[in-house]
Amino acid sequence: MKTFFRLIALVKPYFWWMALAALIGFATTGSSIGLLMTSAYIIAKAALQPPTGSLQVGIIGIQIFSLGRGVFRYTERLISHNITFRILAKLRLWFYDAIEPLAPARLMHFKSGDLLQRVVDDIQSLENIYTRVLGPPLTALLVAAMMWFLLGVYSMQAALLILFFHTLAGIGVPLLTKQLSRGVSVGIMKHKAEQQVLALDLFQGIGELQLYGKLPAHLTAMQNAETGKLQLQRKNAIIEGLHESLTGLLMNGALIAILWALIPSIFTGAVNGISLTVITLAVMASFEPFLPLPSTLKHLEADQHAGERLFEILDAKPETVAPATHLPFPTDHTIKAESLSFTYPGSTAKALDQLSFTVLPGEHIAIVGPSGAGKSTITSLFMRFWNSSEGSISIGGQNITLFDPEELRHNIALVSQKTYLFAETIRENLTLAAPEATDDDLKKALTAAGLGHFITKLDEWCGQHGMKLSGGERQRIAIARILLQRAPIMILDEATANLDGVTEREVTETLNAISAGKTLITITHRLKAMEQYDRILVLEKGKIVAQGVHGELMSKDGLYRRMWELQHVVEGGLFSDEKLSS
């Protein structure tokens, strides 16, 4: 129940609105009961052929209760849906605010489909907290108290009987259906989550599944997940039908028991026939608010499971946090890494081991090395996606942990190997870097990035993940973004690794042009145009094994020279790296 109370705490600001909605819901049910009672009174009274004037009270009662029922029903739905949508909006904002600091470090162990399920469906299921979990029991409790009082006027025995049957309908039937449906709601949610993951894997990896002959097995897994979900949904429907039947059975049982208790009172004159008719219909109508109660426990189980899945993520401690009071970003852009070490969680091998280097303002350096040497880890530490295990990184003599992470990332422009484009227009993807950018700003950035012809396509859709654009165009969009960002420090992390030779050369020339006068750190394993860098750092197993300019490193028999020769020595008329890629 700890999870349930945590969820309740989130909706606590709406307590008085929820209480008002519950009272109006009670008034709605009370109006329904009153309408049936006054209708029964008029019918029974009219059968005795009394003067018309004696029926006026009943006629007015019907008008009041029928009008009140409609007004109360509309008002209750208006308030309850308004509360529900506000709660849902609050939960989505709350979840996003909580999950954003966790990215990417704390989310790397979750599949994207599973995260999507939690963000969308799990939060969506929590809309039931009021409408299905909190509201119905309150309304049923108020109706039970009202009926106990009304029948107590005629007979305490009848009052105790209605209380007994209401207790069975309000507690016994829900507990029974909960026992029968144990795990059904959670099972349906798990199958939906599995379907989400499998569907996303299919859409994103259908080519690989076909290539390795795994598509039939994947489709079978999707079919099995659908079959399991349908079986549980069928069981759920049967149980829902059962609890409605049981509630109806209890209603009939209550009616028979109360008639049995009150009929003898007719002979004594304590109860007349008209009152007995009125009581009969009131008892039948009083069971209406008990019908949703069995579903309350099922929704409670589902909400608790959804809450546990959400809190599983949100209870994780962010890898990086903003300082309580942060320093402004310095005008001195000297970068210094001192004794930098880092080990990924779950790993025993150090990705970086006592790394130290300095980059002066305006200096262009390259960090090279084989795959797994720790090059991209440096990027993650610079952007504060992770905190270093040991050592520090400073800019302008100040440790980067003293800066606001958002301000730090605004002043360091990053072009990575995989440029992410949202399924939006080119304009919206560009203005991520500068929301205030004008069309003229976008035009200059696109022209400088070699995409001048895109100026007329600003409002065209990029496709999912930007798939309507080529790899080179996506990288140039990334270049245009960093131009709009106007950051004094640039990091290129394998920015041209997936491009063909011609496009790679064009993109490299563009990057060189826009980085003039800025601090540039290029991280790559492809040794192209190394002569342009002021200094080259060679990494191997997380350590700097050599550094210097291109000519100096080529004069030594070391890792850099071996990598260069492997990629550039002509063998049989083809570059060896082309052979490796073919």
- Give the whole-angstrom CA distance, residue 224 versus residue 317: 36
249 and 349 inside one domain? no
302 and 400 inside one domain: no
83 occurs within a structural domain = yes
DSSP state letters, 92-109: HHHHHHHHGGGTTGGGTT
Predicted local confidence at residue 573, as pLDDT: 45
Residue with tokens 């305006």: 362
In a domain, 245, yes or no: yes
Q: What is the CATH number for 286? A: 1.20.1560.10
Look at residue 530 and tell me if it is in a domain. Answer: yes
pLDDT, one tens digit per residue, over 436-483 is 999 999 998 898 888 888 888 899 998 877 888 888 888 889 889 988
pLDDT per residue over 480-493, tens digit each?
998 898 899 999 98
- Assess if residue 328 is contained within a domain: no
Q: What does pLDDT average to over the chain?
A: 85
Which residues in 343-418 belong to E strands, given as ranges? 352-359, 364-368, 390-395, 398-399, 412-415
pTM, whole model, 2 decimals? 0.67
Instruction: Confirm whether 430 is domain-assigned.
Output: no
Burial class (CB within 10 angstroms; exposed 0-12, middle 13-18, buried 19+) of 48: exposed
* Residue where the block lists tokens 């009021």: 130
Mean pLDDT over 240-263 rounds to 89
Q: Which of 521, 516, 517, 555 is closest to 537 using CA atoms?
A: 521
> Within a domain: residue 537?
yes
Give the model's pLDDT for residue 336. Answer: 95
Residues 240 and 95 in one domain: yes
- Residue at 219 is within a domain: yes
Indicate whether 89 and 162 sit together in one domain.
Answer: yes
Whether residues 72 and 187 share a domain: the answer is yes
pLDDT in tens, 286-339: 998 898 888 787 778 778 878 888 888 878 788 888 888 889 999 999 999 999
Query: Do 147 and 195 reside in the same domain of the chain?
Result: yes
pLDDT tens per residue across span 140-155: 999 999 999 988 888 8
Q: What are phi and psi of 413, to 5 degrees?
A: -85, 130
Same domain (yes/no): 350, 249: no
- Tokens representing 210? 């076909």
Please spell the DSSP secondary structure of 430-487, one letter per residue: HTTT-TT--HHHHHHHHHHTT-GGGGGGTTSB--GGGTTS-HHHHHHHHHHHHHHHT-
Omega before residue 104 within 30° of 0, cis: yes
Residues 97, 164 within the same domain: yes
> DSSP label at 122?
I
Output the six-digit token pair for 77: 């739905």
Evaluate whether 161 touches 257 at the Cβ level (below 8 Å): yes
d(CA 429, CA 469): 13
Domain end point (choices 250, 282, 314)? 314
pLDDT band for 579, please (50, 70, 90 cuts): very low
How far CA 532 is from CA of 358, 391, 519, 528, in Å, comes to 18, 30, 14, 10
Q: Which helix (H) or strand (E) holds 234?
A: helix 215-268
For residue 296, what are the CA distances in angstroms to 172, 206, 303, 305?
13, 41, 10, 14
Question: Among 314, 349, 375, which residue terminates a domain?
Answer: 314
Domain hosting residue 97, numbered range:
2-314
Domain shared by 243 and 142, yes or no? yes
Q: SS3 for 516?
A: coil
